Amino acid sequence: MIELWQFRASPYNEKVRWALDLKGAPHSRRSVLQGPHAAAIKARTGQTATPVLRFDGVWITGSAAIIAALDERFPTPPLIPADPAARAEALAIERRFDAELGPRMRRATFGALLPTPFYLARVFAAGRPAAMQTLYGAVIPAASGLIRAANGMTGPASIADGERAIEEALTFIEGQRAGRRHLVGEAFTVADITAAAFVAMVADFPGTPMEKPKPAPAALRGWLARHADHPAVLWAREIYAAHRVRPDDFDGPSR
């Protein structure tokens, strides 16, 4: 059995969930709480980031490496193009979001969420009992410094840079598409999964695993509405509607 250890509210984890679901790969999922997760993940992988996947008895870390391994074992549908030029382009887009745009966009997202710790707890602890979410929310203010440090949030300038990264990402998607349905050629690839998952972090896509809990605070609703009608956000919604085969997330074995 393949085993995914994940954060529910993370585009990196969403990428892997999406690939597993598309490929129909039998697996189980274990959702861990950000913060308390660190010891368990480090004991298994020597590092603390998610997602991690136990695959053939080996722990694989990082969404890009996991998707590459899944594409090799479960080749249908292919997510990494066979054509060398298309492959290089798709993987370059994945790397740009994973390593450059994504971490900056995440700072802006935390900037919007940290002022409402009990709502942030509902995001982080989705699927947990309400009492646990409340307890987790009560702890977040004390842990906010650690959250900021872990995400490179060094002050208002870093949040502003995150907002610029959102604009850069949306502009990049539209330029890369150039009116096409997909980001690389005419096929759905890991580039589409990656870009759409990161857009889902800064937008609200109801009926998907990245949907924001309801009701959301007014300030967050306003933040989410800023880009809701951007063509790249509308594109990402269409990609989810066309290719996200499961509208839910789960713990335990796939079903």
| Model confidence pLDDT, tens digit, residues 10-25 | 999 999 999 999 999 9
Average pLDDT over every residue of 221-231: 97
Would you say 2 and 192 are in contact if contact means Cβ atoms under 8 Å apart?
no
Would you say 204 and 212 are in contact if contact means Cβ atoms under 8 Å apart?
yes
Residues 145, 129: Cα–Cα separation, whole Å: 26
Would you say 118 and 137 are in contact if contact means Cβ atoms under 8 Å apart?
yes
Q: List, for residues 228-250, the tens digit of each pLDDT value.
A: 999 999 999 999 999 999 999 99
Asked whether the predicted pLDDT for residue 1 surpasses 90, the reply is no
Residue ranges and CATH numbers for the domains of the chain are 2-77 (3.40.30.10), 84-243 (1.20.1050)
Would you say 11 and 51 are in contact if contact means Cβ atoms under 8 Å apart?
no
Asked whether the predicted pLDDT for residue 152 surpasses 90, the reply is yes
Residues 92, 234: Cα–Cα separation, whole Å: 23
What percent of the chain clears pLDDT 70, i.e. is strictly above it? 100
